[in-house]
Amino acid sequence: MLLKLTVNNRKLELSVNDSMRLLDILRDELNLTGTKEGCGIGECGACTVIMNGQAVCSCLVLAAQAQDAVIETVENLSNDTRLSVLQEAFLTSGAVQCGFCTPGMLMSAKALLDRNPDPSEEEIKTALEGNLCRCTGYIQIIEAIKCAAQKMKNLKEN
Amino acid sequence: MNYARKVDARAKLDGSCKFLDDYSYPGMIHGYICYARFHHGIIRKIIFPSDFNLSEFVIVDYKDVPGSNIVPEPEKDQPFLAEKEILHWGQIILGIAHPDRELLKKFISKIQVEYSNLPALIDMHECLDDEQNIFGKEITIDHRLGLTIDPSWIRTRGIYYTPHQEQAYMETQGMIAIYDPDASSMFIRGTMQCPYFVKAAVEAIMGKTVAETVVETSEGIGGAFGGKEDFPNIIAGIAALLSYKSKKPVKIVLDRSDDIIITTKRHPSRVEIETFTNPAQKTIEKMTIDYRLDAGAYQTLSPVVLARGVLHSFGAYQVKDVFVRGRLLRSNTPPNGAFRGFGAPQAVFAIESHIDKIAAQLDLDPYDFKKINLLHSGSQMPTTQKIIDDHISDCLERVIANSDYQRKKDEFAIYNQQNRDKKGIGLAVCFHGGGYTGNGEKVLRSKVRLRIEKDARIRIFVVNTDMGQGAYTTLAQMVAESLDHPLELTSMELPNTSRAPDSGPTVASRTIYIVGNLLRELALDIKKSLAGSSLSTYVKTNPEMFPRDYFREFSPDPSVTFDEESFRGTGYRDYSWAAAVCEIKFHASTYHIEIRKFWNVLDIGRPVNIGIACGQVQGGNVQAFGYALTEFFQKKKFGRMHGFTDYTVPLSYDIPEIFLEFIHTDSPLAKGLGEIPMDYPAAAVRNAFHNATGIFIDEIPLTPERIFNQLRNQK
């Protein structure tokens, strides 16, 4: 099938197999390997990307479902020299251990902060409930998201 | 103490860090495995599906092995590829490769293995309760004094069980092998903890057909927790064999369900403890421990896990007369292996539950009872090792104060009289020995290499991997700090067996404690040779001397001795100590335990990087909460778990408030940290449940089903 979609602000037309998963399109066709496969059945959240504003498991999205979609992956968060506020907060809060869940965590967190710039701890925990992390115990990740929200608020107010 | 940011974090945040599946090589094809889907039997025939073109597939079985089909590390009893007899579900029979991964998976799913069935032992209780299943060498620690049991002494007996636990690293097992026929070399890249183990495995399976094997890790290692200690040996061997046969680079990355089904787990345990306590003195006079582990179908790492388990089984207590017996039992389940704690979490769950039980029999608060019996400076372990400080008592006192233990306990007692839901508070203490057990480090003799470049950059060459625990940062920090050199100019090289000497495996809380301290000694030696100037100045003024390599080998402390037969002597040269308090709420309508707060106090000597140290404690605690409450592996009637829907690890909303404090941080020595935060929480949770309800449950996980059944049985 011919798939038209926007990935990280780039409009693309790709010829792909209908049964391909969005995850494979990103990793194999577009070489965006920042998005990880942890389970392949939507249980772990490592492959989370933002699709039309929503955090989704890209292993559960088939090519046809991504028609005309706007996709954002971890590669879009920073430019060459600067990390985003959210990434910077992960760095300073010690929220990265092995790093395999990190891209998915970042995308779930970004989707949350995009729609709710001032989330409570409960809302953060709920937004991350589909993202497994086996290293950190989540505490430093939750802390990082709180810090990022605060920093974004300060930036906006100034 | 240092708060330096992790050096590898940036690449992990922008998606550029390469994990194994992110590597690709020209001409690379996909490899996978075909494994037994029965527990025990003899293979009769393997039938390949007829609707595929067989010639497109590269297939290897045990007959293709040019070298030895036995995995060389650690215990030589497990084949890479099954021959005739299958001893466990998940035992690998074939390696298969094809350019198209989906087609490959389809092909493998249609392969039929005909077999004749043999009786199988798969239930952990059936395995552990029956002494007929003993295999391997028994370990005893005999510190009996022939005491006559006084009739007034209180006898306490308990049998404690712990289940399998899955490491659940987020990146599944994977390996790439690249055979070069012209150079007769094999290059292996993988997600692993022990590059030299993998090298030995590939050399064993390939025999003389390959002249040189080089192993390098992937840039990112997506968690390991012990799960990537010995299992990578097997898939590296199979990937190498497939690459040798196909003459192409071969990549194997396991699917999650296969990874969970076939790889190593934490050993299920049965620990029986009998004690006699003097009710007047409140002292434990005599203790007998029977420590058993379900090893699975092959011994592999189990004798080493058993040794550590036995050496942690008697707990942080001074007991006059002790006898410990440790044994492995065989079952038809995949070999169990390394997992953070390595036999200690099982031991600590048993002894800390038991101490709680004795205290209840004496009508004493567990805190008061522990205080009387705790090891202290000058006291002796059953191994005859002398304790040189009171740090365990210090940990206990601090955690009692930090958690406001006494006040909470009184408050909960009143709450529990008035409410159906119950609140409880529980206590646990423990130690964890750093580095290899007994003479292990003496035998290993780890070596490290530092290279100082012309521009004064320091490159560190060791094979200890960063699987998330922060080794690349902490090791670089230890070198940079010892030389007063900027951290930005000090970096770890990707572990590679052709460039780094064998600094030993990334296991046993030994990376900072052994390898880091060895690097530190080497860096301090270099500093002495600089005649008072800074490294940068020295390099600038003596350019002819650089680049230069520096080496150092671990030299064992000659005063440290351990007898492998009697298990007497110094089990571990240095111990880390910890005490913890857990606060829970038991929801009476759902039988659910909610962990609300958790306090840790640890002595790990000098923390190298406080941010990383905190992350290790929190992450270890949360793995242990899963162990305590939700994680188990066997479903009696339906076989094993196969994903994160039935194997439930803690999620973001399961996390309580965690408090932690490190004490005695002014020590010059950085001790082990990686494992100890996993050792004690399960017992603290179980003891808190006892405090809340008055009910002892001696098996984890404390699922609502188990609690419901126990309550029903007690009625």
Three-state SS letters, A102-152? HHHHHHHHHHHHHHCCCCCHHHHHHHCCCCCCCCCCCHHHHHHHHHHHHHH
Q: Is residue B639 over pLDDT 80?
A: no
Q: Which of B14, B167, B228 to mutate to test the interface with A (most CBs of A within 10 A)?
A: B14
Helix (H) or strand (E) holding A86: helix A85-93
Q: Which of B2, B3, B13 to mutate to test the interface with A (most CBs of A within 10 A)?
A: B13
Question: Is residue B344 situated within a structural domain?
Answer: yes
Closest chain A residue by Cα to residue B168: A134
Ordered strands of the B85-86 beta sheet: B85-86, B41-47, B112-117
Question: Is residue B140 situated within a structural domain?
Answer: no
Q: What pTM was computed for the model? A: 0.98
Do B323 and B399 fall within a single domain? yes
CB contact under 8 A, A96 and B619: no
At residue B636, the pLDDT reads 61
Contact B237, B218 (CB under 8 A): no
Q: For B15, which of A75, A129, A141 is closest by C-beta distance? A: A75
For B421-439, how does the pLDDT look when each residue is reduced to its tens digit (9 = 90+)?
Answer: 999 999 999 999 999 999 9
Q: Which of B32, B170, B654 to mutate to test the interface with A (most CBs of A within 10 A)?
A: B170
Contact B321, B285 (CB under 8 A): yes
Q: For A44, which of B19, B620, B644 is closest by C-beta distance? A: B644
Give the pLDDT band of residue B165 (cuts 50, 70, 90).
very high
Domain that holds residue B451: 446-553
Residue A100 touches chain B, beta carbons under 8 Å: yes
3-state secondary structure of B616: helix
In angstroms, the CA B555 to CA A57 distance is 51
- Which CATH number is B547's domain given? 3.30.365.10
Tokens standing for B395? 């940990």
Give the pLDDT band of residue B209 (cuts 50, 70, 90).
very high
At residue B186, the pLDDT reads 98
CB contact under 8 A, B223 and A36: no
CB contact under 8 A, A32 and B15: yes
Q: Which of A22, A48, A76 is the last residue of a domain?
A: A76
3-state secondary structure of B273: strand
Question: Is residue B545 situated within a structural domain?
Answer: yes
Q: For A125, which of B5, B467, B652 is closest by C-beta distance? A: B652
DSSP B85-133: EE-STT-EEEEEEES-HHHHHHHHHT-EEEEEE------HHHHHH-GGG
Counting one residue from chain A and one from chain B, the pairs whose CB atoms sit within 8 A come to 166
Give B474→chain A minimum CA distance, Å.
13
Residue A34 touches chain B, beta carbons under 8 Å: yes
Which residues in chain A have their CB less than 8 angstroms from residue B651's CB? 128-129, 132, 138
At residue A85, the pLDDT reads 97
Do B280 and B254 fall within a single domain? no
Residue A29 touches chain B, beta carbons under 8 Å: no
CB contact under 8 A, A39 and B19: no
Where does residue B3 rank: exposed (0-12), middle (13-18), buried (19+ CB within 10 A)? Answer: exposed
Distances (CA, A) of B343 to A39, B269, B304, B332, B621: 28, 9, 9, 20, 16
Candidates A101, A75, A59; CA nearest to B619 is A101
For B473-486, how does the pLDDT look when each residue is reduced to its tens digit (9 = 90+)?
Answer: 999 999 999 999 99
Distances (CA, A) of B285 to B150, B280, B313, B359, B383: 10, 12, 16, 14, 16
Which amino acid appears at position B552 of this protein?
A: R
Do B34 and B93 fall within a single domain? yes
Question: Is residue B516 situated within a structural domain?
Answer: yes
Give A48→chain B minimum CA distance, Å.
13
- Phi, psi of A122, deg, nearest 5: -60, -40
Do A36 and A94 fall within a single domain? no
At residue B713, the pLDDT reads 87
Give B60→chain A minimum CA distance, Å.
27
Contact B63, B199 (CB under 8 A): no
Do A59 and A93 fall within a single domain? no
Do B576 and B647 fall within a single domain? yes
In angstroms, the CA B215 to CA B245 distance is 19
Question: Is residue B137 situated within a structural domain?
Answer: no
| Residues sharing a CB contact under 8 Å with residue B548, sequence separation 6 or more, in sequence order | B451, B452
Give B626→chain A minimum CA distance, Å.
10
Candidates B601, B589, B657; CA nearest to B625 is B657
Q: Which of B6, B8, B10, B12 to mutate to test the interface with A (most CBs of A within 10 A)?
A: B12
Q: Which of A76, A98, A126 is the last residue of a domain?
A: A76
Do A62 and A90 fall within a single domain? no
* % chain B with pLDDT above 70: 99
Give the pLDDT band of residue B638 (cuts 50, 70, 90).
low
Tokens standing for B370? 């522990």
Q: Is residue B76 over pLDDT 60?
A: yes
Do A41 and A96 fall within a single domain? no
CB contact under 8 A, A138 and B652: yes
Mean pLDDT taken over chain B: 97
Do B464 and B578 fall within a single domain? no
Q: Is residue B2 over pLDDT 90?
A: no
The alpha-carbon radius of gyration of chain B (Å, integer) is 26
DSSP B178-207: EEETTTTEEEEEES-S-HHHHHHHHHHHHG
Closest chain B residue by Cα to residue A87: B13
Q: Which of B497, B531, B553 is the last residue of a domain?
A: B553
DSSP B650-671: --GGG--EEEEEE--TT-S-B-
For residues B634 and A37, which has the higher predicted lDDT (pLDDT)? A37
CB contact under 8 A, A134 and B12: no
- Which CATH number is A141's domain given? 1.10.150.120
Distances (CA, A) of B591 to B90, B420, B585, B613, B635: 35, 11, 10, 34, 20
CB contact under 8 A, A129 and B14: no
Q: For B12, which of A39, A102, A136 is closest by C-beta distance? A: A102
Do B304 and B400 fall within a single domain? yes
Q: For A137, which of B6, B169, B618 is closest by C-beta distance? A: B618
Question: Is residue B126 situated within a structural domain?
Answer: no
CB contact under 8 A, A138 and B655: yes
Q: For B9, which of A37, A96, A129 is closest by C-beta distance? A: A96
Do B224 and B280 fall within a single domain? no
In angstroms, the CA B548 to CA B540 distance is 13
Residue A137 touches chain B, beta carbons under 8 Å: yes
Which residues in chain A have their CB less than 8 angstroms from residue B607's CB? none
Domain that holds residue A150: 85-157
Where does residue A83 rank: exposed (0-12), middle (13-18), buried (19+ CB within 10 A)? Answer: middle
For B497-525, how does the pLDDT look when each residue is reduced to its tens digit (9 = 90+)?
Answer: 999 999 999 999 999 999 999 999 999 99
Do B177 and B67 fall within a single domain? yes
Tokens standing for B183? 């150079």
Give B612→chain A minimum CA distance, Å.
7
Question: Bridge partners of B150?
Answer: none
Question: Is residue B496 situated within a structural domain?
Answer: yes
> Which residues in chain A (103-132) have CB-CB distances under 8 A to chain B?
103, 106, 122, 124-126, 128-129, 131-132
Closest chain A residue by Cα to residue B654: A125
Angle formed at CA B350 by CA B344 and CA B353, multiple of 5 degrees: 130
Do A97 and A148 fall within a single domain? yes
For B264-304, how does the pLDDT look when each residue is reduced to its tens digit (9 = 90+)?
Answer: 999 999 999 999 999 999 999 999 999 999 999 999 999 99
| Residues sharing a CB contact under 8 Å with residue B195, sequence separation 6 or more, in sequence order | B215, B216, B217, B463, B465, B495, B496, B497, B500
CB contact under 8 A, B651 and A129: yes
At residue A41, the pLDDT reads 96
Closest chain A residue by Cα to residue B645: A43
Do B595 and B470 fall within a single domain? no
Residue A43 touches chain B, beta carbons under 8 Å: yes
Do A68 and A104 fall within a single domain? no
In angstroms, the CA B631 to CA B622 distance is 12
How many domains would you assign to chain A?
Answer: 2
Closest chain B residue by Cα to residue A132: B651
Which amino acid appears at position B568 of this protein?
A: R
Do B210 and B112 fall within a single domain? yes
At residue B1, the pLDDT reads 46
Candidates B114, B109, B118; CA nearest to B41 is B118
CB contact under 8 A, A131 and B652: yes
> Which residues in chain A (80-99) have CB-CB distances under 8 A to chain B?
83, 87, 90-92, 94, 96-99
Do B106 and B177 fall within a single domain? yes
Tell me what the mean pLDDT of segment B563-585 comes to: 97
Helix (H) or strand (E) holding B535: helix B535-541
Q: Which of B610, B652, B653, B678 to mutate to test the interface with A (most CBs of A within 10 A)?
A: B652
Give A17→chain B minimum CA distance, Å.
13
CB contact under 8 A, B15 and A96: no
Backbone φ/ψ region at B343: left (φ over 0), alpha (ψ -120 to 50), beta:
left
In angstroms, the CA B432 to CA B456 distance is 38
* % chain B with pLDDT above 90: 96
Tokens standing for B695? 């009910």
In angstroms, the CA B259 to CA B170 distance is 11
Do A89 and A72 fall within a single domain? no
Q: For A100, which of B19, B623, B658 is closest by C-beta distance? A: B19
Q: Which of B490, B524, B553 is the last residue of a domain?
A: B553
Q: Which of A44, A76, A108 is the last residue of a domain?
A: A76
- Which CATH number is A44's domain given? 3.10.20.30
Closest chain B residue by Cα to residue A85: B13
Do A109 and A141 fall within a single domain? yes
At residue B468, the pLDDT reads 98
Candidates B176, B283, B288; CA nearest to B235 is B176
Give B619→chain A minimum CA distance, Å.
4
Do B429 and B458 fall within a single domain? no
Contact B640, B166 (CB under 8 A): no
CB contact under 8 A, A140 and B18: no
At residue A80, the pLDDT reads 76
Question: Is residue B74 situated within a structural domain?
Answer: yes
Give B172→chain A minimum CA distance, Å.
7
Go through B677-691 and write b for each residue having 16 or more CB atoms within 10 A of its CB, e for each that does not.
Answer: bbbbbbbbbbbbbbb
Do A62 and A100 fall within a single domain? no
The length of chain A in residues reads 158
Tell me what the mean pLDDT of segment B189-195 comes to: 98
Question: Bridge partners of B213?
Answer: B186
Q: Is residue B309 over pLDDT 80?
A: yes
Give B563→chain A minimum CA distance, Å.
36
In angstroms, the CA A49 to CA A33 distance is 12
Which residues in chain B have their CB less than 8 angstroms from residue A81's CB? none
Do A70 and A96 fall within a single domain? no
Give A16→chain B minimum CA distance, Å.
15
Q: Which of A79, A100, A122 to mutate to test the interface with B (most CBs of B within 10 A)?
A: A100
At residue B303, the pLDDT reads 98
Which amino acid appears at position B196 of this protein?
A: Y
Report the complex ipTM: 0.98
How many domains would you assign to chain B?
Answer: 3
